[in-house]
Structure 1
Amino acid sequence: MIALSPTMEEGTILKWNKSVGDTIDTGDVVCEVETDKASMDYESTQEGKLLKIIKNEGEGARVGETIGILGEEGEDIEDILKEVEQEGKAASSDSGESKEEASDQSGSQSSTQSGGQSGDQSGQSPAPSGSSAATSGGAAPSAPAGQAAGGQPSHTASGKIKASPLALKLAAQKGIDINTVAGSGPGGRIIKRDIENYKGPAPSAAAGAAAAPAASSFAPVQNAGEDREIPVAGKRAAIAKKVANTKFSAPHFYIKNSVAMDNLIAARGMLNKEAPQKVSFNAFIMKFAAEALKRHPGVNASWQGDKILQYGSIDIALAVDLGNGLMMPVVRNVGNKGVVQIDAELKELIQKVKDGTLKPEEYTGATFSISNLGSFGVDEFTAILNDPGAAILALGKVNKVPVFDEQGNVKPESQMKMTLSCDHRVIDGSMGGRFLTEMQRMMENPVRVLF
């Protein structure tokens, strides 16, 4: 399997679109793969017959690992299968765990062309419609979906639940305790169909067995005293790696201020009376940030080791919550767009995030970032930089607070707290302070954008 995104190291096969014996043409979508960022189509780079499935639906593998064999009809593939078996043993030895445990993590699959080429070479393509059995006929699982042999969910040797990242995501969305689900995938792994067909925990001989929490708008309550291991894979693993690298490699410092929001709220209300669709608050913030970056271009930059790169385009990312991690879709060239156009592009990107169709070029390369936790009731917070940008703006909720006017009288005012996280290698305190003050002035008096 080739890397389907710049940061992809592992992936999980969600669905096979081709079966053993099918003819595959260049460009055919042979399977869908969950990467560290999104679900993506795997397109074949070669023509031929699909001779063997190596990785089935719900199974994971690393970039370069074989997921299927493509060749001529009737071709002898025994030598290739031996190579694949050795490949699996080597992968297990390198990771220090069994191959099945490794596929708990979001892995990226690779294919092997008949003739003995390894999966990370050119001219390769994956394998067929995945069943739970690694046979060319795609044998059905030995137990019904959602129920493994013996009716119990399977665990790894370390005690972790064996489940695909997509199954974990669906379980969280539906409020299902993954520990009560039995897997029908390879080795008893819990896969997508097990969650979709879940009818509740199997009857137990133990008295008083708790039922799985019902799906609701409230987070399920964990019973007191329970320990729970959640496999780190897919998006969560990628986020952990990225933020750790950024936090410990870039010296962060933080600047905070409070912004009077009444004039901005009024301006947005005025626009939304005439606009065909309501313009989001985040679109306004992105516009103000872009205008402030024009005036202070040193903030729109990144550390390059032996030089600082000051960007010509202002490309702003916005953190979007997925429930199991964050995505940072990027609106390009924000400085040359109006707030209505920014809002339209932002809504389109957010929908792609929800659908899992966001392309790598749509979430990488931001020159500046924004994270807004106001809708979660957060007053203020500090954010970790989003590489490669040297600054990220964290926004809290809008609160009504009492303030003194020029005559000394107390009046109510809508205020929001902002925190700018800066890479001190690129941005000094004075530069960051001037930028944040510029942002504050524009938000408090939107007409300043015209100056």
Structure 2
Amino acid sequence: MPIEILMPALSPTMEEGTLAKWLVKEGDTVNSGDIMAEIETDKATMEFEAVDEGVVGKILIAEGTDGVKVNTPIAVLLEDGESADDIGKASSSTPKEEPKAAPEDAKQDAPVEKSSPAAPARADGDRVFASPLARRIAADKGIDLADVKGSGPKGRIVKADVEGATAAPKKADTAAPAASSAAPAGAAMAAGPTTDQVRKMYEGREYEEQPLDGMRKTIAARLTEAKQSVPHFYLRRDIQLDALLKFRSTLNKTLEPRGIKLSVNDFIIKACALALQQVPDANAVWAGDRTLSLKPSDVAVAVAIEGGLFTPVLKDAEMKSLSALSTEMKDLAARSRDRKLAPHEYMGGSFAISNLGMFGIDNFDAIINPPHAAILAVGAGAKKPVVGEDGELKVATVMSTTLSVDHRVIDGALGANLLNAIKDNLENPMGMLA
């Protein structure tokens, strides 16, 4: 029978995507590994490739179509001896081939395959791999491939494995499908008035509707959920930057021949990474019914892009030099703006930084990005009068910071210790090189 190709889940959180571009057309022959299309997720445009070989019999979803749900059939692949007339014979009992992510996203392949309900799975959660002929024979005989042991390469099920097998009695389905209880990606947005209600409020007024793209829907849903479910509290400190600015100027002169220029944000990243090592109990995330304490300092940094933002993660930031952090951050920021980050580059971390100082914002409160336990909001450095240790009034460059904290993970005193460590690191920048 023809094989339905399904809309793949290219990241663990993806629920729908846009079929941006087809790279094949009906009648084309594809082999395993051939890139078939480009798909735009909520965060990036990614390629996917064919799993098996065959001929593209029919394209079901036109390129440019958005809001395509994961596991929706998007094309039909014909095998040897099949024609377009066989397409109508495909049924839900036919195992469906799911495209896999392109090689550059290989680190995400395993969780994507495991999360897909369309792919047959064994009891231990591994996906079943079988030849197209074995799948067709199994479907005709009513055999569940999850019950068949494969004798082919890497356990792949082949023709001989299913020819002598018999169908097992069907078991009663006692568990409700996970998908039926899952809330849609935009469910959190339903708390306010509906679209029609808002339209009625503005009858007679000139306006233009702007539909939400995948990224904006995800931001709206996740941050609404975060603000409603995470018990935030806020800690504030002013940090004097004069010593850091002087030290940065000196370092940049020595790094100039290498084409490296350190920013204040590079020092903030390093200060936060070291602070998470100095206050290790704060280097943790919320995991539903427990917390996970992390050993490395994996620091996420918010990057504004057109229509939304990314939070790429600098892993093992405490181990890296300022120049290495600066180079890596510039690369991640550039690829964020081009929406070219792979999911493993913007997922994870235990702590985040959101810096709006470059936009002239004095101070603000940031929303925690779950499962992180804290996020540091950084304002602009400005000349302000301060009282020195000797009691004399002087002028200093002062930066306002606010630490938003998840009270389920970090209590007040622990959060204060973390913010104090960040402040000490920034006000004594030479110590960060030790």
**1:225 offset after TM fit, Å?**
4.4
The aligned counterpart of 2:327 is 344
Counterpart Cα distance in 2 of 1:342 and 1:398: 21
Counterpart Cα distance in 1 of 2:338 and 2:272: 28
Confirm whether residue 318 of structure 1 aligns to residue 298 of structure 2.
no
Counterpart Cα distance in 2 of 1:237 and 1:447: 43
Counterpart Cα distance in 1 of 2:363 and 2:432: 25
Counterpart Cα distance in 2 of 1:82 and 1:225: 52
Confirm whether residue 289 of structure 1 aligns to residue 289 of structure 2.
no
Confirm whether residue 72 of structure 1 aligns to residue 52 of structure 2.
no
Q: Is the 8 A contact 2:247 2:430 kept in 1?
A: no
Counterpart Cα distance in 1 of 2:394 and 2:91: 73
The aligned counterpart of 1:386 is 369
Question: 1:349 is paired with a residue of what secondary structure?
Answer: helix
Q: 2:28 aligns with which of 13, 22, 29?
A: 22
Counterpart Cα distance in 2 of 1:59 and 1:321: 26
The aligned counterpart of 2:41 is 35
The aligned counterpart of 2:313 is 330
**1:67 offset after TM fit, Å?**
1.0
The aligned counterpart of 1:428 is 411
Q: Are the structure 2 counterparts of residues 442 and 355 from structure 1 closer, same or farther at C-alpha, using a change threshold of 3 Å?
A: same
Confirm whether residue 10 of structure 1 aligns to residue 5 of structure 2.
no
Counterpart Cα distance in 2 of 1:366 and 1:444: 25
**1:337 offset after TM fit, Å?**
1.1
Q: 1:62 aligns with which of 51, 69, 72?
A: 69
**TM-score normalised by L of structure 1:** 0.67
**1:51 offset after TM fit, Å?**
1.2
The aligned counterpart of 1:267 is 247
**1:432 offset after TM fit, Å?**
0.5
Q: Is the 8 A contact 1:301 1:390 kept in 2?
A: yes
Question: 1:20 is paired with a residue of what secondary structure?
Answer: coil
Counterpart Cα distance in 1 of 2:363 and 2:313: 23
- 2:238 maps to a residue whose letter is S
Counterpart Cα distance in 2 of 1:17 and 1:263: 55
Confirm whether residue 446 of structure 1 aligns to residue 429 of structure 2.
yes
RMSD: 2.8
**TM-score normalised by L of structure 2:** 0.70
Counterpart Cα distance in 2 of 1:81 and 1:283: 58
- 2:279 maps to a residue whose letter is H
Gaps of 5+ in 1: 86-107, 124-157, 160-223
**1:428 offset after TM fit, Å?**
0.6
**1:406 offset after TM fit, Å?**
4.3
Aligned length: 326
- 2:270 maps to a residue whose letter is K
Counterpart Cα distance in 1 of 2:26 and 2:265: 48
> What are the within-5 Å matches in structure 2 for residues 9-408 of structure 1?
9-60=15-66, 61-72=68-79, 75-78=82-85, 80-81=87-88, 225-275=205-255, 276=258, 277-408=260-391
Q: Are the structure 2 counterparts of residues 305 and 319 from structure 1 closer, same or farther at C-alpha, using a change threshold of 3 Å?
A: same
**1:348 offset after TM fit, Å?**
1.5
Q: Is the 8 A contact 1:7 1:36 kept in 2?
A: no
Question: 2:38 is paired with a residue of what secondary structure?
Answer: strand
